[in-house]
Structure 1
Amino acid sequence: MTATPMRQFALQGAAVILVLSLAWPYFGLNAEALPWLPTSLAIGGVAFIFATLSRQPWWWRAIHAGFMPLVWFTHSQQIDPGWFLLAFVLLLLVYRGALSGQVPLYLSNKQTVAALAELLAERGPSRFLDLGAGVGSTTVPLADLLPDSHFTGYENAPLTWLVGLLLSVGRPNIRWRWDDLWQAKLGDYDVVYAFLSPVPMPKLWAKAQSEMQPGSLFISNSFPVPGLSPSRIIDVDCTPPRPLYCYQL
């Protein structure tokens, strides 16, 4: 089972149905109120088992284990529903890519930027595209280090796009776009950089192959293209390790 949102809802729902179908008749026949804390813990345990059996990534297993216990805890605190709406809106503004394309917000660190700057310096002035550019943690410092190159960032989460736009002000070699990365014309760039997740990599590589020009370079931070040997791997000196997988077109 792949880690798609609808399937995760189905998995959690299956755990809820299984536990309640066993617990409700027992407590109903004994005229006892359903103990929600043990029930939520049981649902979390069953959901964790389902997630493990379906070989979900570790973070999905943790989410499934803790979801219902957190629902019980939150309900017991009697928190005003308005706070949940506010939290949802803020999360949507920052993590829209995780909802629409299973691409969470990753920020490139200084060591990665230094490695990319060295690689770009070897190639000379370039047209660099950052797919899922976040707040500009890659694009902005690279534009400062390499003023002869031109940098474009694509970001579809409104709040992170706005932060990146503000940070790019005063840098004429940056073009900052609020757009879906799948709408980018990769053939307009010499170097395309992505720090996404394993999920979109096969589709993104197919797009790169069909659009990028011969001699251009596709770079993926941390997540290699499945089944394809990179032309070069740059080991970035950081913790946790974040290798750069480079694919020459």
Structure 2
Amino acid sequence: MRQFALQGAAVILVLSLAWPYFGWRAEAMPWLETSLAIGGVALLLATLSRQPWWWRLIHAGFMPLVWATQRLAIDPGWFLLAFLLLLLVYRGALSGQVPLYLSNRQTVAALADLLAERGPCRFIDLGAGLGSTAVPLADALPEHHFTGYENAPLTWLAGRLLGLGRPNLDWRWDDLWQARLGDYDVVYAFLSPAPMARLWDKVQAEMKPGSLFVSNSFPVPGATPERIIDVDCVPARPLYCYRR
């Protein structure tokens, strides 16, 4: 809502000046120049409010791209198709503020070392995406059992196909909040800061003593991890480990 408000403020500011000026001169509104002006004001507001660099780019380019899209006269059906495809991939971002994050090879290697220390166990990946964590771990540690929970249909399907032929991998299309964490020895999550407090409540209520909860990049607010594994990658992706 903050981003919508910022972009809206830029639109209102520019149009409140442009409309009276061109109306008084009885001239048509130059929409290209107007959209560029809105993008410039939005960039300024985003900079003044100390938005991350990617939000500044989004604000600067949003209205010029709207103008360019309007000029292309694209059939509305294509926008509907794009929306449906995005929903199939990023359903978690819409329903639970959990975007699609893919674990890198360095993180998978660090997790493999951690699991090897524990010996054969049952591992669950909450929000498993395309299987970038569970699939290579299942290959590297055949004596362990892995389960992936993913609720976005298209990413679940991709992960299901990528995970075929692995008897130690169970791939489920379901909401992570429906997972029974007490059935697992290690619970792994690469989500976002938004659900961490709620997830920690679920971890405390369900996970059995001696089990391990591992959060990639996002610590549990108000809880002290037993161990932090610094993964050698850029950007930094520390693993926060909490023992029950």
- TM-score, normalization: structure 1? 0.88
Structure 2 counterpart of 1:221: 216
AA partner of residue 245 (structure 1): Y
**Offset, 1:154:** 0.9
Distance 1:15 1:48 in 2: 9
Q: Sequence identity of aligned pairs in percent?
A: 82
Alignment RMSD (CA, Å): 2.0
1:3 aligned partner: none
- In structure 2, relative to structure 1, the CA distance for the partners of 1:231 and 1:90 (3 Å cut) is same
Say whether 1:64 aligns with 2:85: no
CA distance in 2, matches of 1:54, 1:211: 41
**Aligned-partner Cα distance in 2 for 1:203–1:54:** 29
CA 1:124/1:241 → structure 2, altered by over 3 Å: closer, same or farther? same
- Counterpart in the other structure of 1:95: 90
- 1:170 corresponds to: 165
Q: 1:51 to 1:163 in 2, by over 3 A?
A: same
2:131 alignment partner in structure 1:
136
State whether structure 2 residue 43 is matched by structure 1 residue 48.
yes
Structure 1 residues without counterparts, runs of 5 or longer: 1-5
Opposite residue 136 of structure 1, the aligned amino acid is G
**Distance across 2 between alignment mates of 1:180 and 1:12:** 33
Residue matched to 1:125: 120
> Matched residues in 2 for 1:160 and 1:207: separation?
24
Q: Report the AA paired with residue 226 of structure 1.
A: P
Output the CA distance in 1 between the equivalents of 2:205 and 2:46: 36
Q: Is 1:27 the counterpart of 2:22 in the alignment?
A: yes
Matched, 1:238 2:230: no
Tell me how far 1:53 sits from its aligned partner.
5.0
Partner in structure 2 of residue 78 of structure 1: 73
Q: CA deviation at 1:206?
A: 2.5
Question: Measured at CA, do residues 244 and 79 of structure 1 come closer, stay the same or move farther in structure 2, by a change above 3 Å?
Answer: same
Residue-by-residue CA offset, 1:186-222 (whole Å, 9 max, x unaligned): 2221111111222222222232222222221111112
Give the deviation of 1:50 after TM superposition: 4.0
**Which residue number in structure 1 is paired with residue 34 of structure 2?**
39
Q: Does 1:13 align with 2:8?
A: yes
Aligned mates of 1:72, 1:90 — CA distance in 2: 23
> Is the counterpart of residue 211 in structure 1 residue 170 in structure 2?
no
Q: Within the alignment, does 1:149 sit opposite 2:141 as a pair?
A: no
Q: 1:212 to 1:112 in 2, by over 3 A?
A: same
Equivalent residue number for residue 196 of structure 2? 201
Distance in 2, Cα, partners of 1:56 & 1:101: 22
1:160 aligns with 2:152: no
Q: How many residues align?
A: 244
3-state secondary structure, aligned to 2:106: helix
